[in-house]
Chains A and B, each alone.
Chain A
Amino acid sequence: MAYIDSEAAVKEVSVLTPKPVRKQARLLRYIWFNRYLYLMLVPALLYYLIFHYIPMYGAVVAFKDFSITKGILGSEWAGFKHFEYLFSQDKFWQVIENTVVISLYRLVFGFPAPIIAALLLNEVRVRLFKQTVQTVIYLPHFISWVILGGILINLLSTDSGVVNNVIKLFGGTPIGFLSDESYFRSMLVFSMIWKEFGWNTIIYMAALAGISPHLYEAAVIDGANRFQRLLHLTIPLIRSTIVLILILRLGGIMEAGFEQIFVLYHPGVYRVSDIIDTYVYRIGLAEGRFSLAAAVGLFKSLINFALLVLANWLSRRMGEQGVY
């Protein structure tokens, strides 16, 4: 077997292939030979079935009048009633608008941040300094939103937060960063970038580390200066990574950050910060209108999926590889 070089043989080489037997028995014998591998997959398969695929089917509850006593299967069908009701509600459209607007802000300001940070880090030649900065900027990623929420309130509070104290020192009037509608979204976007930009540099750092030093040497010999090397070598070489991340971000445009907003928002800023997920939580869990909440959730999933497919298609048309 070791001397066979065809692709098929390479593929088969690591699982024992039983001797050819009668066709019907072959599959069973194959499974028996690899029984441990299949057994190892069983827990994961059960997990995905119960917590992902059954809920996918359970989304039909959006087309039913759910009652707790009858369960998902026993409840009466309601057709598109819940969707029609939602689409006629101003509140629903406001929630959609908030979600999309907050997401787009995050995309516009948050997407370039890690790319710039990674490119700057890549130019640092003092290794210890580079690693220290990396260690520091990765840290907030590992801290929960509840903790960061507490930290933000401490920093930004109107009566004694450090930021407002500095504003007062310079003779300004304190700003209600977290209580004023006109600042709240900016704070959401800013704190999200603060938490995640460092961690998001990782994938670009990996792409940058994968560039062969020979290319830079060749460029130096050709007389390219540092800026030209960045523009004509580094950026084109990490372009596919940038496109890939962009597709994934577009596919997540309906995710505006549930935990962050849930921790920071309050009725005073609902008008600008109530997003799909917080809305689902309130009407589903607090008000118990499960079918209506499920309809909102399903609507969100479908839009996300459509956006992902669209972004992937566009990227392929532009000659880049897609996510799938």
Chain B
Amino acid sequence: MHYTSRAGKLFDSFNIVCLAIVAIVTLYPFWDTLVVSVIPLEEYLSSSIHLFPKQITFEAYTYLFSMSELWKSYGVTLFVTIVGTALNMILTIMAAYALSRPGLKGNRVIMFLFVFTMLFSGGIIPTYLIVKSLGMMNSVWALIIPSALNTYNLIIMRNFFTSLPDGLVEAARIDGCNDMGILYKIVIPLSMPAISTITLFYAVTRWNDFFNAIFFISDKELWPLQLFLRSMLFENESSYSGGGDSLFLLGPSIKMATVMAASIPVMLMYPFFQKYFINGVLVGGVKE
């Protein structure tokens, strides 16, 4: 299609400028965070808009990485992300495959029971009491098991499995392959785009998890990264002004360095996965 009218060209230019501004406004806060984390305090206080750093110092990072609390919380978050995502994927793939088999008796009822939980819930307090009575309070398992499955991701996965040609599964079955074998040898290798996307969704949710932690974890030793970050950003306010120590001088840089330390892993993973959902077809498919 070609648009040659002058109005059309004018619109195209206007449109591109608009979207470029939107993209810059979206990115700028992250850029400013990065700049603040590496400039010395004098520059932070003297320049009003620090678009580019004049001087770069990694003092804030050196201080941050010397904190044992940071490494402890990294450890907890890494464990929860790896083990939790693995558990998420095992449960999601198995259930999605079974639910994607057409005509399996009971699968419509089971699907309804799962989807119903998206429409109605008992609330967080009863869930809290269940987790408590299972003895999971203040253990990493409270961060992993109560969110072992996400219905939205389950639906995306099931829709993807349903879209695979039935003939493949049939052929394997006739060759004497059981359902475990079919899932492992045929369905999973063919579903890598969907599996990668859902893995990213789960991993990011695990990494960012804050909700489960504030409800189920009070022991500081088990704080995941997000709780450590929160205490650095919002709770230590008073300790900064304690009296001329280095922490006070590094104040804003330290905070922004913590923000960077918590978000860089996600930003590094993101480019490898974004190609799978850039067209939106997979995620948009949830509609059906």
Which residues of A approach B to under 8 Å, CB–CB?
Answer: 10-16, 30, 34, 36-38, 40-41, 43-45, 47-48, 50-59, 61, 66, 71-72, 117, 120-121, 123-126, 129, 131-140, 142-147, 149-155, 160, 162, 165-166, 168-169, 194, 198, 201-203, 205-207, 209, 213, 216-217, 220, 225-226, 241, 244, 251, 258-259, 262-263, 277, 280-281, 284-285, 290, 293-294, 296-298, 300-301, 304-305, 308, 324
Task: Give the shortest distance, in Å, between B29 (CB) and chain A (any CB).
Answer: 5
Instruction: Report the Cα distance A168→B47, complex, angstroms.
Output: 12
Is the pair B263, A120 in contact by a Cβ cutoff of 8 Å?
A: no
Task: Give the shortest distance, in Å, between B250 (CB) and chain A (any CB).
Answer: 14
Task: Give the shortest distance, in Å, between A135 (CB) and chain B (any CB).
Answer: 5
- B130 in contact (CB, < 8 A): yes
Per DSSP, chain A at the interface is helix
Contact of B266 among A142, A209, A263 (CB under 8 A): A142
Task: Give the shortest distance, in Å, between A54 (CB) and chain B (any CB).
Answer: 6
Is the pair A16, B33 in contact by a Cβ cutoff of 8 Å?
A: no
Across the interface, which residues of A come within 8 angstroms of B36, CB to CB? 154
How many B residues have CB within 8 A of the partner chain? 105
Contact of B263 among A30, A47, A147, A298 (CB under 8 A): A147
Task: Give the shortest distance, in Å, between B22 (CB) and chain A (any CB).
Answer: 7
Instruction: Report the Cα distance A41→B127, complex, angstroms.
Output: 22
Instruction: Report the Cα distance A216→B129, complex, angstroms.
Output: 57
Contact of A44 among B30, B95, B125, B256 (CB under 8 A): B95
Can you give 10 A-B contacts (C-beta < 8 A)? Answer: A14-B101, A47-B91, A124-B16, A133-B20, A137-B22, A154-B36, A203-B287, A220-B1, A284-B125, A324-B115
Which chain B residue has the least Cβ–Cβ distance from A229?
B1
Across the interface, which residues of A come within 8 angstroms of B8, CB to CB? 226
Which chain B residue has the least Cβ–Cβ distance from A10?
B102
Top 8 nearest A-B pairs (CB, nearest first) are A206-B284, A297-B123, A58-B126, A144-B208, A44-B95, A165-B48, A36-B179, A40-B94
Is the pair B210, A146 in contact by a Cβ cutoff of 8 Å?
A: yes
If A43-B95, A138-B274, A147-B229 touch, does A209 touch B279 (CB 8 Å cutoff)? yes
